[in-house]
Structure 1
Amino acid sequence: MLELRNMTKTLGDKLVLRNITLTLEKGEILAVIGPNGAGKSTFFKCTVGLLQPTSGEIYLNGKLVKKNSAEMKQRIGFLGHESFLYNNLSPLENLKFYGKLYKVKDLETKANELLKEVGLYLFRDIPIRSFSRGMMQRLAIARVLLPDPEILMLDEPHTGLDQEAVALLNTIILKKRESGTSILIISHDFEQVQALADRAAVLRKGKIVSAKRLGGEVSMAELKQWYEAEVKGT
């Protein structure tokens, strides 16, 4: 379980995040949605440890996470807008490089299994510099899954994917949830939020203003109506 308590972030003289308190339960898919400028990217970076919150606390399984915590980096896998892949390496070489950093056991076998899972096995030995945006995203997903993180943080993970890749990613996300992985998705794609999320939270002007349980029981029209009302502050 991941818990944020009164997390704030100031950049310069601007208060970007305001007292965010939010919980991600074990085996839950939580979607954070909000308009442009709401602070979603800053929220993501603070939550995964790329930025240090100005104040507030982050707890992982009830334990306070300290600054630059190695434990948090090992237990949370995140996929942001940067792939962190090396263009001169092949998919297999990229995964083996990161696998050694994560000290993944039986690395060769696991890397090849993941490449099959994301549909890149036939391209495993080709340098990725010629890969499309969608292929890079698939490989980045494999990189994130390599150390079997307890928590997955995904920032707009469907961006740049074709319909086949979207379906593949959703299958992976749901499979991970079934195995007990907790997943936080930042997204503006209501179709994917409605299809995947157990719960959604609206971020507006740096603050979580509302949360709603979805679980496949809320229609697209109801989801959009709720979101628009919360964004407008009505």
Structure 2
Amino acid sequence: MWISIRMTSRLEAKGLVRRFSRLRAVDGITFDLQAGELLTIFGPNGAGKTTLLNILAGVMCPDEGQVLLDGNVVVGSERQWRKEVGLVTHQTMLYDRLTAVENLSFYSKLFSLEDSERRIRDALEDLKIKEVADQPVGSLSRGFQQRIALARALLHDPKILLLDEPYIGLDLYASRLLRDLISQLKDGERTVVLVTHNFGQGLELADRIAIQVSGQFIFTGSSDGVELTEFEEFYCRKIEEVRP
């Protein structure tokens, strides 16, 4: 199963800054993730979490700082970097009128993938979407759409997976299925960064956690021994401490 393929993928961010006029949407963020680690980032709306993921995905360049993969600087080689990264957001980036297979075929051509038919076949099997493979994506449930989006993000076997609010709009079954899939990806040594407001899912999957406010990590730490209720209270206290 390609979903659990083993790979080395150390991801580092060093002093990342991104400005929009006078606003620092990302303000000096630094972290270091080893292969197979998952960092969950929590934070209020407008904290700069999506901007951070866009920098990590190579969609946006930082004004200051560096992103490194296995010790190699990414900035200046964004096109190559995008081949190492898969990005899933609450917007699926799929074409509603195309079927699941047609969407995956389109993205496989963008990446000039060899053996694309096998990759698509494996993706349909591993993500349990064979039954809807020939249906227009726009006619499918939110849960199926997110699974197809995850298949799209993994089609080129990226070392890094970035997830921006992937649980939005999912029912309990679809949320649990997505959680299990992400867990399998971790077991395959892919490095994952997850942004979510879902404290339960975010803590359950995380090796490390961060709270981002006003572009900065105001807390980072291990998830070991962290209880949901205690963390929710801790989170609220930290937010109150930094609010004007």
User: TM-score range, shorter-chain basis?
Assistant: over 0.9
- Distance in 1 between residues matched to 2:90 and 2:199, nearest whole Å: 19
User: Following TM superposition, by how much is the alpha carbon of 1:71 offset from its aligned partner in structure 2, in angstroms?
Assistant: 2.1
Alignment partner, residue 89 of structure 2: 80
Misfit runs of 4+, over 6 Å: none
Letter in 1 for 2:19: T
Number of the residue aligned with 2:6: none
Alignment-derived partner of residue 220 in structure 2 = 211
Tell me, in whole angstroms, the C-alpha distance in 1 between the residues paired with 2:65 and 2:204: 32
Structure 2: tracts of 5 or more residues without a match? 1-9
The residue correspondences of 1:130-141 to structure 2 (distance < 5 A) are 130-141=139-150
Task: Tell me if the contact between 2:40 and 2:203 (Cα under 8 Å) persists in the aligned partners.
Answer: no
Displacement of 1:9: 1.0
Shift of 1:12: 1.9
Which of 156, 179, 184 is 1:175 aligned to? 184
- Does 2:199 correspond to 1:190? yes
Q: Deviations over 1:118-161 (max 9, x none)?
A: 23211111222322332221210111111111110000111111
The amino acid of 1:137's aligned partner reads Q
Q: How does 1:1-234 map to 2 (within 5 A)?
A: 1-67=10-76, 69-215=78-224, 217-233=225-241
Q: Counterpart of 2:239 in structure 1: which amino acid?
A: V
Residue identity opposite 1:199 in structure 2: R
TM-score normalized with structure 1 length? 0.93
Aligned length: 233
Q: Secondary structure at the match of 1:113?
A: helix
Give the AA of the match of 1:195: E
**Structure 1 spans left out of the alignment, 5+ residues:** none
The answer as to whether partners of 1:7 and 1:21 remain within 8 angstroms in 2 is: yes
CA shift digits 1:59-91 (9 cap, x unpaired): 111011123522210111111233221222210
Aligned residues of 2:90 and 2:167 also touching (Cα < 8 A): no
SS across alignment from 1:201? strand
- Of all paired residues, the percent bearing the same amino acid is 33
Counterpart of 1:8, as a letter, is V
> Which secondary structure does the structure 2 equivalent of 1:180 belong to?
coil
Letter in 2 for 1:201: A
AA partner of residue 212 (structure 1)? G
Indicate if the aligned counterparts of 1:52 and 1:67 stay in contact, CA closer than 8 A. no
Query: 2 CA distance for matches of 1:177 and 1:135?
Result: 21
